[in-house]
A and B are shown apart, each in its own frame.
Chain A
């Protein structure tokens, strides 16, 4: 690149302006990245949902339960491989802010339906035998400094008067994939069933089934809903990804919110960089005219302007992404319990950088085309 020295020299011509533009780029990139990781966190459940899993919930909504006896009936439907049931526990550890997802699980079938979670055999065997036992996700255990064998008091007021459940941490589970959810907390169904009011006994919050083949999903879902149609507990059966999407929607239209803010960030950035480049090109219109006079082609002039705006965007993007990379784990820790874990993946980093470069090229396009089309004679006359 023969004009590299000229491009770099122009880039550092106004250092304060360069720093401010790179700074505005970096701040916007942090905001953009934060929005993207929040969006990704809400959708992670949908992305990693098993294609061969269905979820059955009460037709009225998740707040209502279904008889636990459905498990055996559903298992009998052809195409169903395993069935397990969960219940929302909704307790609090020490303080209200220490929130994390707690599920009452069926130990016999849970890991058959969720093979993506791993618990060491000895820990799992202890848990199965211990009615007051619990298994915690690695992230939650790390968050509260728990070790296997700890006694964990969980305060609960969802099922009768407020009561503290004294539980034993029998094991810690890990996810097989890096983006797997390691924040859950699993309680024994038997313990739960014995200690809740009569109205809740022998019920399941929702069922999760694993199918022989994902191709059976529609047929099995229809069969289940038809089976319980007109019963006291009608069901709604859907794929796990549809269930997760519905769950995420309960927080509001996150996608619209994030897209709206993201669009504002994008256009603001476009205007800031576009304005910087327009001023920069206008300031050296006579220099560009001289370059064209001595034989530099129109395309090369456009390239020089685009390269400059792209470099500003690139440096701003890298700086912003580095800051985001450093800040997001801290943010994730602070927001734990309110938001799913925030993970800045390599894909998001690459997308962020591409986004930055795209904004850079787009913002340099109008001043660049202006410089390319500029008539040398007119530009020299202005000097």
Chain B
């Protein structure tokens, strides 16, 4: 169950409490997120929508441990990450977060196999074990036959599949997707969304996704809107309800 009222039972996989983020730009303080609450259970698939500058990517960066909040806390699987040191946070990211970016961000000089293998280089797995994991991840995204191809030899949709394989190869606690279909045509976008749905449905992955596309957002279990730094559940947005439990 996804809640944005801060009244969760304390057993959620991700618990966000009173999260605020303020940027200082040219002497002016810009409050991007305001005392935001969020509870996400294991296996949930949540989409975040909102206008540009509403704080969607900032929220994703905070949840992924790439940025630190001005106030509030984020607890993932029992670990409070907001007070972790830089190096601890790096280790935590390697273990718990799988990132999927809009621009794929693959390393162009590495093959699909080598790109997917990257997160495993941070583990103690042997070469043979790494190979097995990479082949499994690539088979999940349907690219076993392209493992020796370089990113320039792949289509946009295939590149994004490699990115997804890289995100899931180390079996992270949750996946963060920042506009995963933003750079793809409709057909490829549908394929990628089907793949993400499959990861949630068949592999029990927890996915948090930012998107501008209402059709893409509609495929999430729940869509939350970010408006003026506050999370609003989509169905209640029209009714003007700002906080509450969402089934």
Interface, chain A (partner B; CB < 8 A): 2-3, 5-6, 9-10, 12-13, 286-287, 289-298, 376-377, 380, 383
Contact = CB atoms under 8 A, between A and B. Distances in A.
Contacts of A3: 121
Interface string B4-34: 0000000000000000000000000000000
A295 B105 contact: no
Nearest to A11: B109
B77 to A, nearest CB: 16
Interface residues of B, number: 25
B interface SS class: helix
A63 B146 CA distance: 83
B67 A295 contact: no
A374 to B, nearest CB: 12
A interface SS class: helix
A293 B93 contact: yes
A297 B87 contact: yes
B110 A6 contact: yes
B166 interface: yes
Interface string B166-193: 1000000000000000000000000000
Contacts, number: 68
B118 interface: yes
B14 to A, nearest CB: 18
A294 B86 contact: no
B214 interface: no
B43 interface: no
B166 A9 contact: no
A380 B57 CA distance: 11
B105 A287 contact: yes
Contacts of A298: 86-87, 90
Given A6-B107, A376-B66, A383-B103, A295 B86 contact: no
B69 interface: no
12 contacts: A2-B121, A6-B107, A286-B103, A287-B105, A287-B107, A290-B99, A291-B107, A292-B90, A294-B99, A294-B119, A295-B94, A383-B101
B95 interface: yes
Nearest to A296: B122
Nearest to A297: B90
A13 B152 CA distance: 13
Listed from nearest, the 5 A-B pairs whose CB atoms lie closest are A295-B94, A9-B109, A2-B121, A290-B105, A376-B66
